[in-house]
C-alpha cells in the first residue's frame, strides 16, 4: 500500500491576503516513518539470518558464565524439537531463536541429568 504526503511551503502576502506556493514536494511513504530514523545496529544484529555455525558462535559470545554453552549437536536437537520455529527456513536469528533455545536447553539439561545431581 502506498501513501503519499504532499509537503508545501506557503507564503502569505500581507497586502493581498493571498497565499503563494513557494515549493511543493510529494513523498511516497512505504511502511512506517521508522524507516526514516537511523538504523539500530543492535536490532539489525538480532534480526540478521545466520547459519547454524554463525548462530553458535554468536550465541556463545558474551554469554554469562552461569549459562551452559551451546554446541552443534544441542542446536540440532533443538531444531528437531522445535520444527515450528524453522518452518520458513533453516536460518537462525538471535531475535527468534536465542531465548527459545535458552529455555529449551535448561529443560533439556534437567531432564538428562540424574535426579540426585539436580540442584
pLDDT in tens, 81-93: 999 999 888 899 9
Position 89 scores a pLDDT of 86
User: Does the CA dihedral 40-54-50-107 come out positive or negative?
Assistant: negative
**Cα separation, 7 vs 80, whole angstroms:** 53
Q: Which three cell numbers stand for residue 5?
A: 504526503
Q: Is residue 117 part of a domain?
A: no
Q: Is residue 58 part of a domain?
A: yes
Q: Work out whether strand 18-29 and strand 3-13 pair parallel, antiparallel, or are unpaired.
A: antiparallel
User: Does 30 share its domain with 59?
Assistant: no
Q: Which three cell numbers stand for residue 38?
A: 537511523
User: Does 24 share its domain with 79?
Assistant: no
User: Does 66 share its domain with 98?
Assistant: yes
Helices (H), 26-119: 41-47, 52-60, 72-81, 99-111
User: Does 58 share its domain with 98?
Assistant: yes
Q: Is residue 30 part of a domain?
A: yes
Position 45 scores a pLDDT of 83
User: Does 50 share its domain with 106?
Assistant: yes
How many structural domains comprise the chain? 2
Position 69 scores a pLDDT of 94
**Domain housing 82:** 41-111
User: Does 31 share its domain with 47?
Assistant: no
pLDDT in tens, 22-74: 565 555 555 555 555 677 888 888 888 999 999 999 999 989 999 999 999 99
Amino acid at each position: 500500500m502506498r501513501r503519499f504526503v504532499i509537503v508545501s511551503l506557503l507564503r502569505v502576502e500581507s497586502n493581498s491576503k493571498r497565499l503563494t506556493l513557494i515549493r511543493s514536494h510529494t513523498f511516497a511513504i512505504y511502511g512506517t516513518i521508522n524507516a526514516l530514523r537511523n538504523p539500530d545496529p543492535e536490532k539489525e544484529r538480532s534480526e540478521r539470518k545466520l547459519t547454524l555455525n554463525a548462530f553458535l558462535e554468536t550465541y556463545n559470545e558474551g554469554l554469562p558464565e552461569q549459562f551452559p554453552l551451546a554446541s552443534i549437536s544441542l542446536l540440532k536437537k533443538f531444531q528437531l524439537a522445535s520444527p515450528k520455529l524453522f518452518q520458513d527456513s533453516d536460518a537462525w536469528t538471535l531475535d527468534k531463536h536465542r531465548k527459545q533455545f535458552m529455555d529449551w536447553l535448561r529443560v533439556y539439561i534437567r531432564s538428562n541429568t540424574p535426579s540426585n545431581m539436580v540442584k
